[in-house]
DNA sequence: CACCATATTGATATTGAATTACAATAACAA
DNA sequence: TTGTTATTGTAATTCAATATCAATATGGTG
C-alpha cells in the first residue's frame, strides 16, 4: 500500500520536534464541493483560463487518491469514466502546481510522481531504496533552517524539499 | 558563473549552526595522482571491471570542473582531446556514483546535473528559481534530523538531500 | 611476450516521458 | 445565439537515457 497518504492529515507523536505525519482520510459524508475544486476554478478564472470538463475530471481524480501518483496511474484510473488524454493530464498538472494544490515529490522509475499539497501540512519524506516504502514526517527545524538561510542572504525563500533515504527496518533486517 | 563549486571546500562563517560553504580550488602545484582517480581504479578492480582509457578521461574531466555539470557539458568538454562517446559517459556516471565520487544534484532543463562528493563536506543547496544561482550550505541539524528519524523507526539511513528554493537577493530586488 | 576470454567501446537504433502541431471542438462573454 | 479563442485529442516530435551489436581493447594466463 506504499505508505498512507491522505488529503487531510494531522501531526502525531512528537519527541524531538520530529513529528511523524499520520494520514486520515476525509469522512465519506463530506458532500459539499471539494474545496480543491473551488480553488482550482478560482485559479482558472483569475488567470483567464477556462474551466473545462477535462480539467475538472483530472482534479477530481487526483483528489480522490492519496498516494504519490504519476501520470500513467492517473491516466489509467480515468480510462473508465469518460477518459482524458495524456496531453491534457500533462497540461493540467503544471496548472495545479501553480495553483498550489499539488507538488512534484520525487522521480521514480524514470518519471515524476506527485502528491497533494492542499489541506496537508508541509512534510518531508523518508524513502526506502529497497522496497520503496515512504514515510512522511514533519520537523519544524527545517522551516527554521529555511528561515535562517533566507535571513542571512536576503533570499526570499519559497519552500524547501528534504528527503532522507536508506533502508526501512524490515529491509534492513532482511539484508542481515 | 552559476555558483562556485570546488573539489575541496571549507566551512566558513557560522552563526546558528547554519554554515555557509565556501569554495577553494586545489593548488595547481598538486602533482600527485588525483586521489579520485586512485579511488576509482580501486573501485573498478574490486568490482572486476576494467580500467579503460575512456573511463580515466571521464573521471579526469569531471574532477577538473567545479560546477553542477550535466552529460552534455561533459561531452562537449571532451570533444577536443580524444573524445568519448555519450553512451560511455552515461555508462560511467553510475559507476562514479557507486564509487561514492559524485552524486546527482538536481534536475534542471529536463536532465540531471551532478556534482563531486569526494573531498567535499556534505551540503545542501539553495536554488534561485529566477537566475538559477545556487548557494551551498551545511547545517548539522539536518544530520541530526536524519539520525533521529532513523533511530525512531529503526531505519538504516544512508543520507539525505535538502533543497531550499526561492529568489536570491538580487532577483528578489528586481521583482520589486 | 603472445594468446585468449570477455568487458568495453562507439555507432546506431530504441525506449519512453514529456511536449508540440494542428484541426475540430467547446467555453464563455457579449 | 453568436463569435472569439482557449482547449482538446490525435499524431508527430523532442530529447534524455538505454539497449544492441560488431569491432576493439583490457588484463589475466601460459
Whether residue A12 is predicted with pLDDT greater than 70 in this model: the reply is no
d(C-alpha A83, C-alpha A57), whole Å: 9
pLDDT for residue A32 = 56
Mean pLDDT for B14-38 is 55
pLDDT for residue B39 = 97
Give the long-range contacts of residues B84-93, CB within 8 A, separation 24 or more.
B84/B54, B84/B57, B84/B58, B85/B54, B88/B54, B88/B55, B88/B58, B89/B58, B92/B54, B92/B55, B92/B58, B92/B59
| Nearest nucleotide relative to B94: CA against C1' | D17
Cell numbers describing residue A49: 483560463
Beta-strand relationship, A134-138 and A156-167 = unpaired
CB B124 within 8 A of CB B142: yes
Please calculate the CA angle A29-A35-A37 and round it to the nearest 5 degrees: 110
| Nearest nucleotide relative to B49: CA against C1' | C7
Helices (H) then strands (E): counts for chain A: 6, 7
Residues 6+ apart with CB under 8 A from A155: A149, B126, B128, B135, B164, B166, B167, B168, B169, B172
Q: Does B174 touch chain A (CB under 8 A)?
A: no
Question: In which band, very low, low, confident or very high, does the pLDDT at B21 lie, cut at 50, 70 and 90?
Answer: low
List pLDDT tens digits, range A114-161.
999 998 999 999 999 999 999 999 999 999 999 999 999 999 999 999
pLDDT for residue B43 = 98
Question: In which band, very low, low, confident or very high, does the pLDDT at B92 lie, cut at 50, 70 and 90?
Answer: very high
Mean pLDDT for B134-155 is 98
Which residues of chain B neighbour A166 with C-beta distances below 8 Å? 150, 155-159
**Is B162 close to A159, i.e. CB distance below 8 A?**
no
pLDDT for residue B32 = 56
The CA-to-CA distance between both ends of chain A, in Å, stands at 24
Beta-strand relationship, A124-128 and B156-167 = unpaired
Question: In which band, very low, low, confident or very high, does the pLDDT at B88 lie, cut at 50, 70 and 90?
Answer: very high
Helix (H/G/I), strand (E/B), else coil: B75: helix
Which residues of chain B neighbour A164 with C-beta distances below 8 Å? 145-146, 149-150, 155, 157, 159-160
Place of cell 528554493: B165
CB B160 within 8 A of CB B146: yes
* Chain A 106-165 residues whose Cβ is under 7 Å from strand C: 109-112
Cell numbers describing residue B12: 566558513
Whether residue A30 is predicted with pLDDT greater than 80 in this model: the reply is no
pLDDT for residue B168 = 97
Best of A162, A168, A169 to disrupt the B interface (most B CBs within 10 Å) is A162
d(C-alpha A134, C-alpha B149), whole Å: 13
Confirm whether any atom of chain D, the nucleic acid strand, is less than 7 Å from CB of B85: no
d(C-alpha B42, C-alpha B48), whole Å: 10
Q: What is the pTM of this model?
A: 0.85
Question: In which band, very low, low, confident or very high, does the pLDDT at B10 lie, cut at 50, 70 and 90?
Answer: very low
Residues 6+ apart with CB under 8 A from A14: none
Whether residue A35 is predicted with pLDDT greater than 70 in this model: the reply is yes
Mean pLDDT of chain B: 85
d(C-alpha B81, C-alpha A58), whole Å: 51
List pLDDT tens digits, range A44-72.
999 999 999 999 999 999 999 999 999 99
Question: In which band, very low, low, confident or very high, does the pLDDT at A97 lie, cut at 50, 70 and 90?
Answer: very high
The distance (Å) linking the CA of B13 with the C1' of D17 is 40
Helix (H/G/I), strand (E/B), else coil: B12: strand
Cell numbers describing residue B131: 537566475
Phi and psi (nearest 5°) for B31? Answer: -100, -10
The beta strand positions in chain B, using DSSP E, are 8-12, 19-24, 102-108, 111-116, 124-128, 134-138, 156-167
Amino acid at each position: 500500500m506504499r505508505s498512507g497518504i491522505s488529503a487531510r492529515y494531522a501531526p502525531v507523536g512528537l519527541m524531538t520536534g520530529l513529528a511523524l505525519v499520520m494520514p486520515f482520510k476525509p469522512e465519506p459524508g463530506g458532500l459539499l464541493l471539494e474545496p480543491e475544486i473551488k480553488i482550482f476554478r478560482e485559479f482558472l478564472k483569475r488567470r483567464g483560463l477556462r474551466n473545462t470538463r477535462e480539467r475538472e475530471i483530472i482534479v477530481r481524480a487526483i483528489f480522490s487518491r492519496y498516494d504519490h501518483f504519476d501520470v500513467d496511474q492517473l491516466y489509467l484510473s480515468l480510462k473508465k469514466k469518460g477518459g482524458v488524454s495524456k496531453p491534457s493530464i500533462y497540461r493540467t498538472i503544471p496548472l495545479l502546481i501553480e495553483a498550489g494544490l499539488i507538488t512534484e515529490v520525487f522521480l521514480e522509475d524514470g518519471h515524476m510522481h506527485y502528491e497533494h499539497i492542499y489541506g496537508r501540512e508541509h512534510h518531508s519524506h523518508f524513502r526506502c531504496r529497497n522496497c520503496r516504502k515512504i514515510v512522511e514526517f514533519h520537523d519544524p527545524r527545517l522551516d527554521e533552517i529555511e528561515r535562517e538561510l533566507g535571513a542571512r542572504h536576503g533570499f526570499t525563500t519559497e519552500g524547501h524539499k528534504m528527503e532522507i533515504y536508506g533502508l526501512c527496518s524490515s529491509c534492513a533486517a532482511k539484508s542481515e
